[in-house]
Structure 1
Amino acid sequence: MIETRLLRQFIAVAEELHFNRAALRLHMAQPPLSQAIRRLEAEVGFNLFERTNRRVALTPAGASFLQTAREILLSLDNGLARTRRVAKGVDGHITMTFINIAPYSSLLRALRTFRGAHPTVEFTMREAPTHEQVKALESGVADIGILRSPGTTTPELCYETIFFEPFVAALPAGHRLQSHDSIPLNALSSESFVASSRALGQGFHDQIISLCQAAGFSPRITQEARRLPTLIALVASGFGVALVPSSLASNARGDVVFRPISVDAPDNIRHLKLLMAWNRGQGSAVRDRLIDEIRGSMGPDASNKT
C-alpha cells in the first residue's frame, strides 16, 4: 500500500524536475525527499526518474505513474469532500417509501424545498403499502416511510403524525345517497364495500371495520384493492362504496361522489393519520434534515393542512 504522502512527494518532484525545488515546495530537506522517492520506486518496482548530475527527467513509466498518482489523489480529495458533506447532512442518499402522497401538497412542497436546498442528495423513491414499508424500515432498506398506522408495535421504529383527516364516503355517481350533504354511516350498512386488503395495511383496514361497527354494522367487503386510486376506480365501476381519506376528494371526477359521514365514534376512529416513520437505530444527518423539513412544513396543526 503506497502512502498518499509518497504520491504527493513524487508529484512535486515530477512537476519541478528538481529535488531541491521540490523539497522547498514540500517544506522538507532534500535528502529525506530523495530517500522517499527511492522507497517509492522500490515499492512500484521500476525507476520513475532518470537522474544525472545535470538534470532530472521522468522515465516513460514515471510519466504514466504521474497521471495515475494525480487521479488517485483527486479521487481521494473528492471522496473526502463528499464525506464531509455527508457528515454535515448536505449530501448523501435517501431511500423513501410512501403510499399515495399526491393529495398532500404540504408534503410535496417539503420535498421540493428540500431538493432545492440539497441538490446533491440522491433519492430512491418507492411506492409501497404500509406493511412493506415497515419491513423496509426495520431492515434498513428504507430511511423514511410515509404510511398509515401499521396496527402493530415495532419498537425500533419512530412514528410521527404529519396529517390528520376525516374519513369520507366514496359513492358511484348516481348513488341513491349522493344528494345528501352528509351521510349517516349506518345508511351504508346494506351496501357492498370496496376496501384495501388487511395484509397490506392492518391499521387502516381495522380502523374502517371499527368505524362501521361504531355505526352498528360490519361492512360486507366484496372487492379489495392494493392502492387507493384502484379502489376509487372500482367504486366508479359500481363494485361498491368505500370509506377513504378526505384528501382523495380533492381529485374531483365525474364518476365518483365524495360525501362526509356522520357517526358517533371517537376522534381517533373517525379520523385517519398519515405518518412519517424512521428507524431510531439507523440514520444519517441528511435523513434527519429531511425529517425536520417535513415536520416543519406540516406545522403544529397538520390536520388543517393539505
Structure 2
Amino acid sequence: MPPANVEPRLLRAFLAVADELHFTRAAARLYVAQQALSRDIRRLERELGVDLFGRTTRQVTLTTDGARLLPHARRVIAAQDELLTAFTRPAAADRPLLVDVNSPGLAHERVLARARELAPDHELMARYESGLTGAAAELLAGRLDVSFGRFAGLDPAVRARLSQQPVRYEPMAIMLPEDHPLVALDAVPLDRLAGESVYAGAGNPRTPEWTDLARQLFEGRGIRVAPPAPLAVGKEEFRRIMDKYGNPVLTGIDFPAMPGSVLRPLVDPVPLSPVSLVWRKGRKHPGIEALRAAAAALAAESGWLERPAEAWIPATDVQIMLSRE
C-alpha cells in the first residue's frame, strides 16, 4: 500500500542527497549528523517501499525510483516553502534585512544606498563576504536575505530555489603587482596575459562560480588559472599575499584599490562579469522590493545592462541575464 503521509523533512533529506550524491556533504548542507540523515533516507525508503539510492564505498547514485521521485519531491518542498512564507508572522517584515554586498566599494553598495532611501522605515544591514556560492547556502538556510553575484555559476538545483534580478554586466579587470611590465599600459589586451598564471579564487569554496568564469575566459588564450592561495582579508594581507605569490588577480573594474597593486581594465575583447540580485524564492520583504527597484533604476541610469559591441560573456550567462522574475 502507498504511504498515508510522507513528512516534508524526509523529502528535504532526499533532495539534499540527490543534489550532492554524497551523504557527508548533504548532511553538512542540512546541518544534521550523517547518521541522522542516513536514518531519514532509510525511513523514506521503507515508507515508499523502494530503494532510492545505490550505495557503494565509492559513490552514491539515484535509482530509477529515486529519479522518479525527484520532480515530485521538488514540487512538494517548493509548495511547502511558499506556504510557510505566506503565513510568516507580519513582524518578520520588521526585522533587519541582511544584505551581502561582497566587498566595499562595489556597485552593490550603490544599490543598497538607493534602497535605503526608498525604504527608510526598514533596516537594511550590509555584510561583506565574497562569493555567491557561499551566500546561496546561507540564503537557503535563512541566515542571509540577499546577495549579489553570478547566478549562472550556481548549481541548477540551487538556482531552482532562488530568485534573481539582473543588475549589471561589470567589465572585468586585472590587478597587477606594481612592478609588473603590463602596468605601463592603460588597458591590458587579453592576449598580453598569455603565459601568465592569474589568480581567480581557485580553491575558495565560496567562489567557484568566479573561478569557472575565469576558466571559460582563459580557455584557448594561453592563460592559466593560478593554484589556490591563502584567502587574504584586509588590505595589508592582500599586499602580503601579492608580494609572496606575485600572480595577477582577476577582478571586476570596481574592485577597491589595494596597496602595492595597480588595477587595469581588460580589453580586446572586454570580458563582462554578470551580476544579479539574488534572494530565496518566495521570500517577501519590503526591503527586497526596495533593492529590486533600486537596482532597476541604477541599471537604467548608468547603462549597467548594456553590453559593449566588443564584449565577451558566456552564452549561458546571457540567457540567464535576459530572464526576469
Contact 1:224/1:231 (<8 A) preserved: no
Q: Specify whether residues 275 and 236 from structure 1 end up closer, same or farther in structure 2 by C-alpha distance, changes over 3 A only.
A: farther
Give the drift of 1:211: 1.2
Q: Distance in 1 between matches of 2:251 and 2:118?
A: 34
The structure with the largest strand share of the pair is 1
Aligned to 1:298: 299
In the TM superposition, what are the counterparts of 1:25-64 in structure 2 within 5 Å? none
Contact 2:164/2:278 (<8 A) preserved: yes
Q: Specify whether residues 280 and 166 from structure 1 end up closer, same or farther in structure 2 by C-alpha distance, changes over 3 A only.
A: same
Amino acid at match of 1:243: L
Per-residue CA deviations over 1:220-239 (Å, capped at 9, x if unaligned) read: 43525366966566335552
Q: What is the aligned-residue RMSD (CA, Å)?
A: 3.3
Counterpart of 2:184 in 1: which secondary structure?
Answer: coil
- Unaligned 5+ segments in structure 2 are 1-88, 307-325
Match of 2:206 among 200, 206, 217: 200
Contact 1:98/1:147 (<8 A) preserved: no
Counterpart of 2:99 in 1: which secondary structure?
Answer: strand
- Scaled by the length of structure 2, what TM-score is found? 0.55
Give the drift of 1:208: 0.9
Per-residue CA deviations over 1:20-40 (Å, capped at 9, x if unaligned) read: xxxxxxxxxxxxxxxxxxxxx
Q: Distance in 1 between matches of 2:265 and 2:117?
A: 37
Per-residue CA deviations over 1:12-53 (Å, capped at 9, x if unaligned) read: xxxxxxxxxxxxxxxxxxxxxxxxxxxxxxxxxxxxxxxxxx
Q: Distance in 2 between matches of 1:260 and 1:114?
A: 29
Aligned to 1:95: 98
- Scaled by the length of structure 1, what TM-score is found? 0.58
Q: Distance in 2 between matches of 1:163 and 1:273?
A: 6
Give the drift of 1:244: 1.1
Give the drift of 1:207: 0.9
Q: Specify whether residues 227 and 159 from structure 1 end up closer, same or farther in structure 2 by C-alpha distance, changes over 3 A only.
A: farther
Q: Specify whether residues 181 and 213 from structure 1 end up closer, same or farther in structure 2 by C-alpha distance, changes over 3 A only.
A: same
Aligned to 1:166: 171
Match of 1:216 among 214, 217, 222: 222
Per-residue CA deviations over 1:49-75 (Å, capped at 9, x if unaligned) read: xxxxxxxxxxxxxxxxxxxxxxxxxxx
Q: Distance in 1 between matches of 2:268 and 2:221?
A: 6
Give the drift of 1:205: 0.6
Amino acid at match of 1:216: G
- Unaligned 5+ segments in structure 1 are 1-82
Q: Specify whether residues 125 and 260 from structure 1 end up closer, same or farther in structure 2 by C-alpha distance, changes over 3 A only.
A: closer
Q: Distance in 1 between matches of 2:258 and 2:106?
A: 14
Q: How many residues align?
A: 212
Q: Specify whether residues 281 and 181 from structure 1 end up closer, same or farther in structure 2 by C-alpha distance, changes over 3 A only.
A: same
Larger Rg over CA atoms? 1
Aligned to 1:23: none
Contact 2:173/2:252 (<8 A) preserved: yes
Aligned to 1:289: 290
Amino acid at match of 2:155: T
Give the drift of 1:144: 1.4
Q: Specify whether residues 143 and 103 from structure 1 end up closer, same or farther in structure 2 by C-alpha distance, changes over 3 A only.
A: closer
Runs of 4+ in 1 over 6 A off after TM superposition: none
Q: Percent identity?
A: 18
Q: Does 1:235 align with 2:248?
A: no
Contact 1:97/1:144 (<8 A) preserved: yes
Give the drift of 1:252: 4.4
Q: Specify whether residues 170 and 188 from structure 1 end up closer, same or farther in structure 2 by C-alpha distance, changes over 3 A only.
A: same
